[in-house]
Amino acid sequence: MNPTLQTNNGTLRIGYKGTSPWYEAWKRLRKQKSALIGLGMILFFILVGIFAPLIAPEPYDPANPVYNPTNGLQPPSEKHWLGTDDLGRDIFSRILHGARISLWVGFVSVAGSIVVGTALGLISGYYGKWADTLISRLFDIMLAFPSILLAIAIVAVLGPSLSNALLAIAIINVPTYGRLVRSRVLSVKEEEYITAARVIGMSNSRILFQHVLPNCMAPIIVQGTLGIATAIIEAAALSFLGLGAQAPQPEWGKMLSDARPYLTTAPWTMIFPGIAIMLTVLGFNMFGDGLRDALDPKMKQ
């Protein structure tokens, strides 16, 4: 609501630009250099993945790779900026195309975890009773296992592939978002405006989606941003163990696995994919930390 100022000639209205909480959060975010650097790194890798066929000096088709063992394990040069692997494939081209796979796994798996975890958290926190007990015990059981071991078990049952690795990563992260939403719902549903909504006869579904869920979005967004970094690492770990992406897919974790025998003779085959993973994860972590500070009400002045 715009404030008003009474004058002799009438009422003068004074408006403030961008009074919404999201605009205020964006203003706080813009003041954090580390968060903006992280956002820039994220956008850089997204653009790299989108335009990989145009950027790569030697176009590489993941579905139909061209092997040239006679050109294998070549050090970085003018022709091959980051060198070649044991099969003569250009590492720079593979890293560019690998950005598509790693980012796709990160975004899709986290999106799936958020959808399922948020739904279960809303039901558990709002309705309580037996639903809360059942869902909470399910989360406790899943959290009792180390996440990477649970992911390995799921992929071992379903079979090694990138899609199954994505599904496993989404499943193991559901409790994280479920418990986060549940704790937020338990706090929000005791607010006076929720009680007023019940008194006027508003249905539970309208209360959940119009009042409760919007108040849970800030922590979900922050956790989701940080979760993408974790998902990229988990996907790389599964591929490194041979349970994720399969040859000839240019996934960064798979590239590290294939380069293990050449760590001492051709270290560039492992160094550059490792740097790509590190920079991508660092970008999401820096941006996620900035979002957490920007969306925290305690940070408001």
**Which sequence spans correspond to the domains of the chain?**
37-56+82-299
Q: Is 269 exposed, middle or buried (0-12, 13-18, 19+ CB in 10 A)?
A: buried
- Confidence tier at 64 by pLDDT (50, 70, 90): low
The amino acid that residue 188 corresponds to is V
* Reported pTM: 0.85
Average pLDDT for 13-27? 61
Residue 33 or 10, more confident:
33
> Domain 37-56+82-299 class?
mainly alpha
The rounded mean pLDDT for the chain is 85
Q: Give the CA distances from residue 156 to residues 109, 169, 197, 248, in Å, rounded to whole numbers and listed in that order.
A: 18, 13, 48, 20
Residue 9 dihedral angles phi and psi, to the nearest 5° = -90, 0
Cβ density class 179-196: b for 16+ within 10 Å, e for less = bbbbebbeebbeeeebee
Residue bearing the bigger pLDDT, 122 or 203 = 122
Chain-centre distance of CA 49, in angstroms?
Answer: 16
The pLDDT of residue 21 is above 80: no
pLDDT tier, 2 (very low <50, low <70, confident <90, very high otherwise)? very low
Residue 301 banded pLDDT, cuts 50, 70, 90: very low
Per mean pLDDT, which of 75-79, 97-101, 188-192 is the most reliable? 97-101
- pLDDT at 199 (0 to 100): 86
